[in-house]
Amino acid sequence: MCPPEHFEVSYSINPWMEPDKPTDAPLALVQWDRLRARLVSLGHRVDVVPPRPGLPDMVFAANAATVIDGRVLAARYRHPQRSGEEPAYQAWFAEHGYPVRQAGFVNEGEGDMLPTGARILAGTGFRTDHRAHAEAADHFGLPVVTLHLVDPYFYHLDTALAVLDHEEIMYYPGAFSPDSQALLRELYPDAILADEADAAVFGLNAISDGEHVLLPQSAVHLTESLRAAGFTPIAVDLSELLKAGGAAKCCALELRESLPSTERRREPS
């Protein structure tokens, strides 16, 4: 994670960003720190990457890379406003002993690459180049499933879909092309489906450890669905960061040492 010490909305690279609207960097930092503290309280280790001036979106650490089995496929951003984040995060990985491969095509990390137990779900349509999907498959040795995003308000896969546990997901069908909707129904017939209202408050931009799911407090229907499925939803407020088009998942990049091989057992409540 990276604290939003330099957070602001000074440019617009997605429909959520309106530079004319005021932002509150101290409030963003308070909300971010509450998220970090909650993850720590749940037993997770949180490594903090130092923020750099002039990179207001560096807080969205999930976009920096994809990490599986301790190997890093580093991001290559589509928009030049974010390109300065690339060397910042790559330097951190190198300093901490992670082998890093630089992306050959536009690839916005876990924004569009969501590993599950058996595969990588990969988004394209607005940010990540579809050719980056084959690159990820080659680097990690996992099958990659391409999903086409069609709504600019859901410009990254992690705004429209969340991996909850080994081969369990939730998603908003309206964010995807008809073919991708059909593919998701085939692969995940028991997935939790979000309605437009919960998707619009970034309810799918959630962090799950297979038991607890941290998601925006305003995603009330998803919260009910998660609880019914045996998960423990935890409400978080990241309303200030939403002004830049990000929420809980955007703020955290998972440093996977390995992918899960078995599904955790939960009893529905």
Contact present, 136 and 120 (Cβ < 8 Å): yes
**3 state SS for the chain:** CCCCCCCCCCCCCCCCCCCCCCCCHHHHHHHHHHHHHHHHHCCCCCCCCCCCCCCHHHHCHHHHEEEECCEEEECECCCHHHCCHHHHHHHHHHHCCCCEEECCCCECHHHCEEECCCCEEEEECCCCCCHHHHHHHHHHCCCEEEEEECCCCCCCHHHCEEEEECCEEEECHHHECHHHHHHHHHHCCCCEECCHHHHHCCCCCCEECCCEEEEECCCHHHHHHHHHCCCEEEEECCHHHHCCCCCCHHHCCCCCCCCCCCCCCCCCC
2 is catalytic: no
Structure tokens at 165: 């546990």
156 is catalytic: yes
Which of the following is catalytic: 2, 6, 133, 156?
156
Which of the following is catalytic: 2, 133, 250, 251?
250
* Cβ-based neighbours of 182, under 8 Å, separated by 6 or more: none
**Residue 16 buriedness (CB in 10 A; 0-12 / 13-18 / 19+):** middle
Contact present, 124 and 76 (Cβ < 8 Å): no
User: Which residues are identified as catalytic?
Assistant: 156, 250
